[in-house]
Structure 1
Amino acid sequence: MSEPTIIIDDTTLRDGEQTAGVVFSRRDKIAIARMLDSIGVQELECGIPAMGKDEQSDVRALVDLGLNARLITWNRATVPDIQASIDSGVTAVDISLSVSDIMIRNKIRKTREWVKEQLKVALGFAKGKGLYVSVGGEDASRADIPFLIELMQITWAMGGDRFRFCDTLGILDPFGTFDMVRALRTAVPELPLEVHTHNDLGMATANAIAGIRAGAQFVNTTVNGLGERAGNAALEEVIMGLKHASGIDTGIDTHRFRELSLFVAKASNRPLPAWKAVVGERVFAHESGLHADGVIKDPRNYEGFDPAEVGLVRQIVVGKHSGTSGLIERYKDMGIAISRSEAMHLMDKVRKIAQQTRRPLNNNQLIKLYGLKKAA
């Protein structure tokens, strides 16, 4: 099989764990890595070895799994950080440097010339050790494009393997993302681009897809959109968005998305909302009479893709807004056949109960209603 055009670099084990308050155990990391690898994710950003011996041991444990996915670590663009990654057993590194003037001036308190020299030293060391290197441009979305191009040219000339365009603060919209990535892609077409987006304005997934549409080949994701502050682009959203909105199949097996999302939700102690896009429990729940009737006749009327594609099942919810078709279908699922006229007779009671309890009716309530009708 030929290598997919789009490479998913999932960073659940790095940026996902940087979610405030989240700590994965080594067992969690191994399980998550195995699940991501089994569904075909091509690259895993798996930690920050410079944090210390425990982190290095965790990374080494992942390396020892012998996964198909390439393991890559995050590093500051310094020789000691890169050496810590080498000591952990990985052969691929992301080396990150601040590239916006605001961060160069106010965070590291250096100059553009210093940043260029930092890149040359770190990249030269990494390539001298035979590593695959992604150069990460922190805060690239606020950086000067000509300066980014200059950094990309240095990266390419020194044998760097790709450049990571980071919307570190999540401030871009999809149009701005597309324009910036397209400009960089056009200026240095030889060097593959990666997009790393954050969700501070709720546009991480859209921005990630916009970056791909603009020519990026690599995209960072996290399961459930975990990450700093409002999180990163969600793995499940990016892959399904690419497939169903953009017509780009990444080759990832999506059928275990629900299982994967639930595991990461438990391991991170960040419960999965029922309405979470793609994998939430209620994403394929239908209550409205018009919608339920339409989806019963043909699921394609109100479902953009089959729920089984992501490990979910369709639910017909009976509540205040239900119609007779939904009620008939719900009873049918319980093995009870009712006629249209019987359903119409029950609807007033259904709506009254739903209004009083402010909740949909469960199976026990529906069985009780059916029994009362029969008794009458």
Structure 2
Amino acid sequence: MAERILLCDTTLRDGEQAPGVALGLREKEMIARALADAGIDELEVGVPAMGDSEIKAISQLASLHLPVRLITWNRAVLADLQASYRTGVAGVAVSIPTSDQQIRNKLRKDRAWVLEQMGQCIRNARKEVDYVVLGLEDASRAEFIFLAEILAEAEKLGVDRVRFADTVGILEPLKLFFTLQDLVRMTKVPLEFHAHNDLGMATANSLAAVQAGFKALSVTVGGLGERAGNAALEEVAVALRYALYEEVQINLKCLNSLGLLVSLVTGRQIPRSKPVIGADVFTHTSSIHIDGVKKDFANYQTYPPESIGRQHATSLGKYSGRKSIVRLLQTKGIEFDQATIDNLLNKILQRAQEIKRTLREDDIMEIVVSSC
């Protein structure tokens, strides 16, 4: 049996870094429980170095003993790790900048310092927790030769996983595939890809990483995160299953409710066309499409909505035709002559143009009643 791809959710860490998002303890617990119940493989639950309130919140999540590994995010600083140990989580992620841009212009250090600090922190962490992830910040802009040196050292240090972060979302799938494929070949340590969506390619890049041999992916519910966000859990999970035919542990039927929960607690609306969880993504308006899905859903749908707990729907708008109206009326036991149908169609199209959206069933029935 092929090894399953791990989905490592960071909604409670990178997701909370989204502008305007601040989660309370109760909200964090709700999200953590929902993700654990859905079958997520790992939860990155915060940054203990932020202070006592963050340590308390993470400790509370750890005390729930959810059936999922909890890890924290830390700089390669011993004080950060000491704060993490106080929370009782099973694992830590130690993050180090790897690009010369960040090493020189953020840390004001050099590569030798990075390697030394990395080794010191990982050796310390391995004494205190069960699971250690090495995070390579800004790896997509790092020199390949330095990444290779880091991977060799990480393997010697015995880390459990290495995270390659496209921190500024600059990669594209083809370049990513060939670069990451070479990294996979040079280490026995499982690799994780952490995508940002600055150029709209987080999901595509995540799939390319899997095709290159990566074993884990960072995700957030709804793609929540810094700037343009991260790879969306729901998009990645469904794409793994239906585009790459990979097995995932998470229950796909929980994706919609997860999206609604995070939308509710963050106050961020889900765009109607948002892949997988958007209100309109299984709604067909064109008469050609409606006729096609009535004959066979596969004509205009890449995967069954029932697989994620959704259903097909239709609506009427500018591109809807007579057949669409007749079908709706037939479901209501209503029959009109052709002239009346044509009149209804004109009114429906005019109304759709006025309100700048497709019409729901109740909108259409209002027009039908007013025309009788």
- The TM tier, using the shorter chain, reads over 0.9
User: What is the DSSP-based 3-state SS (H/G/I as helix, E as strand, rest coil) of the residue aligned with 1:208?
Assistant: helix
Residue pair 1:281, 1:312 contacting (<8 A) in 2 also:
no
CA distance in 2, matches of 1:164, 1:303: 34
CA distance in 2, matches of 1:340, 1:107: 73
- CA 1:211/1:362 → structure 2, altered by over 3 Å: closer, same or farther? closer
Which residue of the other structure, out of 336, 356, 359, is the alignment partner of 1:358? Answer: 356
TM-score, structure 1 as length reference: 0.94
For the aligned residue pairs, the C-alpha RMSD in angstroms reads 1.8
Deviation at 1:270, TM superposition (A): 1.3
**Partner residue of 2:266?**
268
**Partner residue of 1:251?**
249
Q: How does 1:143-158 map to 2 (within 5 A)?
A: 143-158=142-157
One-letter code aligned to 1:186: R
Which residue of the other structure, out of 317, 325, 338, is the alignment partner of 2:335? Answer: 338
**Partner residue of 1:370?**
368
Gaps of 5+ in 1: none
**Partner residue of 1:195?**
193
**Partner residue of 1:182?**
181
User: What is the DSSP-based 3-state SS (H/G/I as helix, E as strand, rest coil) of the residue aligned with 2:17?
Assistant: coil
Is 1:18 paired with 2:3?
Answer: no
CA distance in 2, matches of 1:349, 1:69: 55
**Partner residue of 1:133?**
132
CA distance in 1, matches of 2:319, 2:335: 19
User: What is the DSSP-based 3-state SS (H/G/I as helix, E as strand, rest coil) of the residue aligned with 1:352?
Assistant: helix
Is 1:8 paired with 2:10?
Answer: no
CA distance in 2, matches of 1:214, 1:363: 46
Is 1:300 paired with 2:298?
Answer: yes
One-letter code aligned to 1:29: K
Q: How many residue pairs get matched? A: 371
Deviation at 1:131, TM superposition (A): 3.2
**Partner residue of 1:108?**
107
Deviation at 1:368, TM superposition (A): 3.8
CA distance in 1, matches of 2:298, 2:122: 51
Deviation at 1:339, TM superposition (A): 6.3
Moved over 6 A (4+): none
Gaps of 5+ in 2: none
- CA 1:250/1:218 → structure 2, altered by over 3 Å: closer, same or farther? same
One-letter code aligned to 1:34: R
CA distance in 2, matches of 1:300, 1:97: 46
CA distance in 2, matches of 1:202, 1:290: 29
CA distance in 1, matches of 2:3, 2:129: 24
CA distance in 2, matches of 1:346, 1:301: 28
Is 1:54 paired with 2:53?
Answer: yes
Is 1:82 paired with 2:87?
Answer: no
Deviation at 1:183, TM superposition (A): 1.1
Percent sequence identity over matched residues?
A: 42
- CA 1:49/1:340 → structure 2, altered by over 3 Å: closer, same or farther? farther
Residue pair 2:315, 2:361 contacting (<8 A) in 1 also:
no
